[in-house]
Amino acid sequence: MGVPHFKLMQLLALLSLFSISSASGEKGYNSKLIGSEAVTEKDDAQTLYASAGFLKCKSDKLVEPVSTQEISELLQKLNADGRPFKVRATRRGRHTPNRFACAGKGGSAKSPTGENFEVTNVDDTTYSVTILLHLMNRVVAVDHGRHRLTVEAGMTMQNLADAAVSNGMSVPVGVLPVYGNLTVGGVISTSAHGTGAGVDSTLGDIVVGLKWVNGKGDVITSEVDDEKGVQEVRALVGGLGALGIITEVTFQLLPAGALTQIETWEREDSNFAADVKHQLQTSTPHILYFWRPDLGAYKAFHFKPLKTGDVPIHPYHPNGRNAIFMASPKEAAMAVNAHMRDYTLDFDDSGPKSDVLNAQGCALSAAFMNIPAFHDGDIILQNATIPSSYAMIAEECAPYCSWDLSYFGATGEDNEFTIKLSDIDDFVKDVKSVIKAEEEERQKVLDRRYGDGKVKLCLNPGMFWFRFGKGSKSLLATTAGHGEPVLYVTSAFFASGYATHLPPKIDHINEVLEQLALCKYKARPHYGKNFDRAFTHPSCHLRDTFPEENIVKLLNLRDEHDPRKVFESELLKRMLERHGPVYGDKCSLHHQCYCREDSHCADGYKCLPSVSYPEYKD
């Protein structure tokens, strides 16, 4: 675990270096640039930076408890002290890029130090405490008879899969998110997911019990077998920690030895939506798609769990693992860093090397699409049979992950929306036409400059991810209230950490697609992926996408368990009370708002109606 597979790594390095070997821009073109605050600064006694986002949270105190009891005593003491306080649980290297996780001040870390704005969640008299849960990562109980495992909430996905296997159980395929370093508490609280249309597809789906500490410091055990317990579990799964801090979780797992056949399918995308529906029906509900509309292609990873007695048709690799997030060698990181910076700086395609940069961008995009998704040591697996427990989560890449700003100089910016699967045809059409319309002007600039069709423009390196889920009874989960399967669409594209005074070139497209998703498709953004702007749209209020009775139930439970609202982050309050965003200088550049006036944009940019959907500005 965590040990890089050198041969495979070298192959990937070659792949990326070959594609972008001429990545150096003009000498001196941007040598004065300094990295954003998120690149240059490190966590200190009061500040936490998100590892995959330009976000920092400041609080008066960071604590690192080792037990439920300790958290309970902390809450009791804070209550007894009498002064106002706020508490949020999270972890170092936390992956949320929004302020749900911030107990005290939250703000952007996008620009170099001193140029970022902060949002004060609390007034100066309020004491803010951030609880870091990494020491709470133990196995608490093992129920061999019922294949149940109880673990502490700070445990990572990778450690959970390992603990399941070493205790003679398997994790069902589809329920784990891909990144092995996410935590049980974070994943459950944000309703983070794997993939499975209409079937179990999030860790929350296999929760049978929770231990948690409420705002008064009471320790509560909730089990899905009784009526009170099931109500509490539904409030906590996908509940953004609004009732309390989850400290232990019991999962319903499978017997040892569960296997999954994995298959890699590559296709052109002219019938993408129809293909998706067909494949879900005829192959497996557990599919992950990588889609590049501009390259006209998609790649599908099919996960087919084997039932006892099924004979696998693909070779068995007991050490087969998911490899989507490969650790990257330094040379590749530096090349991507330089490319992303120069490509972003060439914002209007008028620089000395726009042709080279666009060609590199297309090559790099293709290289990312070609990264193998599964491996067994040095062997790349396309079609194979591997243990279910490791089919979905990718092995640890830290500290060489492709989204780690301080290593890559760039990061993946994710924006995810949950919509109804039955909307897939319209949505795919919208994505294609928005991209076409929004990029037309840029393509014309390149055509005029270099000759018609000479330089092809590509989206930033990255891809759209399509995954699937089922409706749920959890009150605030992104799947809440849906009676049919859902589609999770993630726009996951790279952004430079060294040209942050400019928006990523994909951002105007994202802004239109996000507003379209929120307003036309009544979509729900991912609590652990999206930026503040998606939760605070000025007119398409997220709260209104939930059944009102869910909100009423949640608020009633909160009155009981957190009457002083000590767990309520400022962003949650905005979302529940239908407030718009925090408008301010360059709020759009910092992903806090969708612009309303020019001052919300980066210097030199105007807030204009978008080409494709004029009602949405970008």
Among 65, 172, 186, 461, indicate the residue that binds ligand FAD (CB under 6 A): 186
Task: Rule CB under 6 A: say whether 561 interacts with ligand FAD.
Answer: no
x/- binding map, residues 385-424, to ligand FAD, per CB under 6 A? ------------------x---------------------
> Could you say whether residue 193 binds ligand FAD (CB under 6 A)?
yes
| x-or-dash string of contact with ligand FAD, 200-239, rule CB under 6 A | ----------------------------------------
Distant-in-sequence, close-in-space partners of 352: CB < 8 Å, separation ≥ 6: 25, 26, 29
Name the burial class of residue 44, with classes exposed (0-12), middle (13-18) and buried (19+) by CB atoms within 10 angstroms of its CB: exposed
Residues at the site binding ligand NAG, with contacts judged by CB under 6 A: 2, 51, 92-93, 181, 263-265, 382-383, 396, 398
Beta-strand ranges (E) seen in 334-485 are 374-376, 379-381, 384-387, 410-420, 462-469
Nearer to ligand FAD, 182 or 335 (CB): 182
Q: Assess contact for 290 and 355: CB atoms under 8 A.
A: no
Distance CA 271, CA 263 (A): 20
Q: What is the smallest separation between the CB atom of 28 and ligand FAD, expressed in angstroms?
A: 34
**If DSSP codes are grouped into helix, strand and coil, which group holds residue 417?**
strand
CB of 136 to ligand FAD, least distance (A): 8
Residue with smaller CB distance to ligand NAG, 161 or 502:
161
- Token digits of residue 433: 């036409």
Q: Give the shortest CB-228-to-ligand FAD separation in angstroms.
A: 19
Q: Quick count: other Cβ atoms within 10 Å of Cβ 101?
A: 28
> Which parts of 58-87 interact with ligand FAD (CB under 6 A)?
none
Rounded Cα–Cα distance for residues 566 and 562 (Å) = 7
**N-term to C-term CA, the chain:** 43
| Nearest residue (CB) to ligand NAG, 304 versus 561 | 304
Distance in angstroms (rounded) separating the CA atoms of residues 100 and 527 = 8
Binding to ligand FAD (CB under 6 A) within 146-165 occurs at 153
Contact partner, 613, from ligand FAD, ligand NAG, none, Cβ < 5-8 Å per class? none
Round to whole Å and give the CA distance between 495 and 209. 39
Triad 462, 464, 465: Cα angle to 5° = 115
State the nearest-atom distance from the C-beta of 92 to ligand NAG, in Å: 5
Q: Rank residues 117 and 265 by Cβ distance to ligand NAG and give the closer one.
A: 265
Q: Which stretch binds ligand FAD (CB under 6 A): 55-63, 183-191, 361-369, 435-443?
A: 183-191
Distance of alpha carbon 203 from alpha carbon 489, whole angstroms: 18
DSSP state for residue 480 in the 8-state scheme: B
Tokens of 563: 């009457």
User: What is the edge-to-edge ordering of all strands in the sheet holding 148-152?
Assistant: 139-143, 148-152, 244-252, 207-214, 219-223
Q: Which is nearer to ligand NAG, 179 or 465 (CB)?
A: 179
Binding track, positions 526-545, relative to ligand FAD; x by CB under 6 A: --xx----------------
Retrieve residue 188's tokens.
């459950």
* CB nearer ligand NAG, residue 232 or residue 395: 395
- CB closer to ligand FAD, 153 vs 516: 153
Q: Which of 8, 20, 48, 52 binds ligand FAD (CB under 6 A)?
A: 52
Neighbours of 403 (CB within 10 A): 21
CB of 239 to ligand FAD, least distance (A): 8
Provide the residue type at 72 as one letter. Answer: S
To ligand FAD, the closest distance from the beta carbon of 405 in angstroms equals 12
Residue nearer to ligand FAD on the CB measure, 25 or 462: 462
Whether the Cβ atoms of residue 117 and residue 73 lie closer than 8 Å to each other:
no
Rounded distance between C-alpha atoms, residue 581 and residue 339, angstroms: 32
Residue type, 326: M
Q: Which is nearer to ligand NAG, 393 or 487 (CB)?
A: 393
Q: List interacting residues with ligand FAD (CB under 6 A).
A: 52, 88-91, 94-96, 100-101, 133, 153, 177-179, 182-183, 185-187, 189-190, 192-193, 240-241, 245-246, 403, 528-529
